[in-house]
Structure 1
Amino acid sequence: MDRTGGRLNNRLIGDPGVPAPRVREREAGGQEVGEQAVEARSTGEQVAGDVVLRPPPGPIMTGDLVDGRRVLGFGHHGGPLPRTQDAGHAADRLGDRLLLDGDEHASGPPERSADPADHPTLARAGLAPGHQLDDRRVHRASDIGPGLVELLDGLLYGPEAPRYLGNLVDRLTSDGHGVWLAGGAPRDLVAGGVPEVVRDLDATGTAPAGAFLRAVDEVLALDGDSAELPPRFSPRSLVCSVLTVHRDRRTLEYRGLGLTGLPYPATGTDLSQDAHQRDLTVNTLLYDPVRQLVLDPLGHALTDLGHEAEGPGRLLRLVPPGRPEDPVTCAELLLRAAKFLIRWETRPGLETTGLRDWVLQLPADLPARIDALDAGPDEWLRLATLWEAWVPGGPTAAQGESLRAFGPAASRLLDRLSRLDLRIDGAPPGGADEPETRDAPDGHLDHAPRVQQAPTARPDRSGDV
């Protein structure tokens, strides 16, 4: 693994030898033009007109072309892909489906292989991770803070980490995928925390769910020390979870980079689009453990964590990176923000102006809009279960008053949740805290349309990872 120095974006995963990109104009659809064509001639990349093609081999990425149609990303299907022969790509057998322009209008992912070998017309025109961000948003972890590399790497490679974690990163990297720590680990450690504050590990990457699960299966099969349980998978959210037997070490939760605009769960390979799906800008930081880089895809996370300030009173700004319209997504984002407001209520420098402005713009009848959905009752139960997991027993009177001061949408949402009964078939609240039943890793919202649960099924949960 490349764990040495070098130019920043030379060291981005999946882009060996590619020069650090500069800010350029791009055509509609995200393709770089002009200047990069000259760079490509010295890096083995192919040039087709003004479009630079990545050299094979490697996985398919968002922005590639198949039969002239642009690749959106990857969906998942529970059953095997129909084939004329028994042989086939293992990731396909685990459910990965390739999504192309036009598939956003279908009710579910098509029966289309995600194996590059099955697409002879594949043009690798999509932007690999190293070409998606300019140098201002890519930072050496060692430049951000002394000892940060050791703290972050220790979560994956340290003596207390299960051995499979480092092996899994190596395996995904060798398959041509990017993999990054996300959520609480980079956020809290960059903000000056210690590893003990990191509960479970969130990760994201370019590998779709089937490819990730295949890598986990093969790594765990060779790891006789950690004796992990089989990985678990939620088709509803595309979250893959790897648990330790006795929960005495951190759980790993993985979801591919987020992809919006489809009526079913899907992932892609675009760093910025993923960042816009997260709940707060402070949760958009990513850490590349192979190149020891901290990525700030939107360019706001380090500032909002007060990285430029000195001392214990430095700023911590809570701001949503996006403005979702779906009422359930808005309610979940509001509750996630409330979780952090309660967690950090005594922290000096907490700045909530941006969050307050967003909440005040939410419709005052937000609960009624959730009621109007076909799956309204199930969504209320899911939201209430999330809230109980994040704030057991609910907020104190003072905390509740502070949250209600954010406006009518927040006040009415809290009032509605306080009247809901979480018990399902006699199961007490908190009785289903296995990671595979959670909605999404910490900081990541699931923007896919809601799947109605059977009346006797426990709802998906999203624990505080």
Structure 2
Amino acid sequence: MLKKLFQSFRPPLRGQHRRTTPEVINQSQHSLQRSQFSRHAVSIVERLQSAGYQAYLVGGCVRDLLLGIAPKDFDVATSATPEQVRAEFRNARIIGRRFKLVHIHFGREIIEVATFRAHHSEEDQGDTHRSSHNSSGRILRDNVYGTLEDDAQRRDFTINALYYDPVSERILDYANGVHDIRNRLLRLIGDPTHRYQEDPVRMLRAVRFAAKLDFGIEKHTVQPIRDLAKLLREIPPARLFEEVLKLFLSGHGAIAFEMLVDLQLFEPLFPASAQALDERPSYTHTLISQALSNTDLRVKQGKPVTPAFLFAALLWPALPARSLFLQSQGVPPIPAMNEAAHDLIAEQCQRIAIPKRFTLPIREIWDMQERLPRRSGKRADMLLDNPRFRAGYDFLLLRESAGEETDDLGQWWTDYQDAHDSERRDMIRELGSRDDGASTTRKRKRSGSKRKSGGEGSFD
């Protein structure tokens, strides 16, 4: 599968995707119809054009409709500045500082309008007082406006540099994007190393688009990624959180994970989990892959997904070793687990800013793994009533599917949920009898010797 995604298509002739005039694709030459686009987005384009500005539907909505995919968003690009756009629409609001945009609200639908951007000049990059780039080449500010041609050349991938005019119903293609869509090929516009240095998140976008669209990545586009992966450490953690959600909650998370690992992008995002992947490759890979496959299935079925469960799975393989180390230092099992969980999440948040509304459920899911084995008396029924039981139970099944030995704990809980009250009482009594027998056996084995402090926890 990965070989298919990292393809070696013969690239167009040098400079072929750098047009100063676009290829104009007329209505009879493409499959798009204006009725497929948001009527609000179309009305914005028409109104801006009537006011004397250039305006087009652009990017993902054009790309997706050419591929037969229903777009999630409809974006507009225009020659009007943000202030000029706001003057045309009462329901418009300017957002952003690094990259100024206008959001135009139509009830729940928001149409994003961006002014044509241009590349920054070398003089601007070299002036440390007003530089828009940092020392690694990353863009810090991006409010240099330009022409339509400038805007096309500064977009990331050729398939995103397509402009649709709903008035004339023509597509303007400045970067051979239609050619690459037909060949299902992802290609950066410009020099890949320079473009990744401008914005390292483009490496994650390459993975996301390739996974989502089932496209190959052109060889020159993929070649620098492994060497530049470390640049992701410079990206603000809050931005990386949003990008990781797009990667893993889009319905194509399992293949995205494989590509991240192969391109050495996983370690800058999840350093502790990457270490666990090196130390326990089969278990870690199976658990994370299975969690992402389950998430992909839920997305396809239209079921809700929660980032908390997914992050719990992504980080869990790094937790056992930390807890066991603390136990070796004399910390009892449950406090060791709690301290290890706290430290692991705190470290992870330095790379990816996971909000507190998710870190708390992560801790609760992990805590359930310690509580689910303790079922005697009324504990089982109390656990069933716990609002985190279902997530904890699902996580237990996930651990078992990755090969963890739990003495059939998952099956026991499956049976207990389906059992009647009398059957549940029998299950608890049987459990008590089994524990009594096991306790007697342990006492016989330990006679004549002192029991060691601490314990092995539930990670064996």
Q: Give the shorter-chain TM-score range.
A: 0.3 to 0.5
**Whose helix fraction is larger, Structure 1's or Structure 2's?**
2
TM superposition score normalised by structure 2: 0.47
Larger Rg: 2
Q: Flag the structure with more relative contact order, 1 or 2, with Cα contacts below 8 A and sequence separation at least 6.
A: 1
TM superposition score normalised by structure 1: 0.47
